[in-house]
Amino acid sequence: MLNPRFVIRVQTVNLRVEIWVNEIPVSFLGRNEARSPVAIPINQFLLKGRNLIQVLLHAGPVPSRASEPWSRDKEATGYLGPASLSLSLAKEVAGQDPSSRDAYPLVTLDWQGAADTHPSVLERACTLNERAGPWAWESAARFASVDAEVRGEVRDYLEYLHRLLTAREFEAFVAESAPKLEELTELAYGVPAESMRRGMLQALEDHSVEPYRLQPLDWSEVDLRLVAGGRMIDCLRKNRRNVLEYVEPKDQDVFFLPTMVGKIGAQWKILR
């Protein structure tokens, strides 16, 4: 049986925003990427009880420094003028009467101002009584910072994942995502995990051959940031591209593998 879907819908004008749910980034939208409403399913980030929705206005270019002023960055050129945001979080149930109480937004947020290179945060909270989780990341080790030791462990793990992809050992790679796949399907949305696992294996097969190319790991471009209250590490590049991705050079088509990792016991795993 399908679970109800909780969806954030956001529309912006001339605005860079990053949407966070319970201290986890769920979407970054550039200044022209949400002129039409964008729907973001968020079941897999929700908790039973209090949930915190955060919107980082004027998010900076480098993920780990997104909340810092960025007026000296080349992307600041031309970032000015009127800007606006409209956001809602609603529960959606298949076949639901639009006039029912559950069809109304649980959270709404509207903002108008000017594009600026000094980020700021808007917050809204809501309480959910539905089952949500528990998630593997809730029991992961908590880190206070990405220090040299943590960075070294994450680097070793990312290199291991990259080697699996290079060697086309896709079953082993997907196994590293086992908690994530189960949570993104059966636990979050009530759909079979096996179909997503097969789909992921097929997608890896399809994108691992020419003209697609697995991008190298350039550690000078890797950007790591703590999320989920320090229980996961979001692994991106400084240009906000994903650390693990295949690119088709001619048309710049990209197949990417989101990689938020956490340490469960002594083992690192892909958790989101």
Tens of pLDDT, residue by residue over 54-78, are 999 999 999 999 999 999 999 999 9
The Cα–Cα gap between 10 and 2 comes to: 24
Same domain, 114 and 169: no
In this structure, what are the phi and psi dihedrals at residue 86, rounded to the nearest 5 degrees? -135, 125
Q: Tokens standing for 74?
A: 């080349």
pLDDT at site 55: 98
Same domain, 53 and 174: no
The answer for 81, left when phi > 0, alpha when psi is -120 to 50, beta otherwise, is: left
Beta bridge partners of 245: 256
To the nearest whole percent, how much of the chain has pLDDT over 70?
Answer: 96
Name the domain boundary from 105, 128, 151: 128
Same domain, 122 and 145: no
Name the domain boundary from 128, 152, 171: 128
Same domain, 144 and 118: no
SS3 category, 108:
strand
For the cut 80, the answer to whether the pLDDT of residue 207 exceeds it is yes
Same domain, 107 and 163: no
Tens of pLDDT, residue by residue over 126-146, are 999 888 989 999 999 999 999
Beta bridge partners of 224: 235
Same domain, 88 and 150: no
Domain region containing 66: 5-128
Q: What's the average model confidence in pLDDT over 165-177? A: 97
Q: How many domains does the chain have?
A: 2
Same domain, 80 and 191: no
The Cα–Cα gap between 245 and 207 comes to: 9
Same domain, 91 and 27: yes
pTM of the full structure: 0.92
Same domain, 180 and 89: no
CATH code: domain of residue 158:
3.10.450
SS3 category, 59:
coil
Q: What's the average model confidence in pLDDT over 17-43? A: 96
The Cα–Cα gap between 55 and 49 comes to: 20
pLDDT at site 131: 84
Same domain, 96 and 50: yes
Tens of pLDDT, residue by residue over 98-117, are 555 556 799 999 999 999 99
Confidence of residue 93 (pLDDT cuts 50, 70, 90): confident
Same domain, 179 and 113: no
Q: Give Cα separations from 270 to 130, 153, 248 (angstroms).
A: 25, 13, 25
Tens of pLDDT, residue by residue over 223-271, are 999 999 999 999 999 999 999 999 999 888 999 999 999 999 999 999 9
The Cα–Cα gap between 220 and 257 comes to: 20
Name the domain boundary from 128, 160, 193: 128
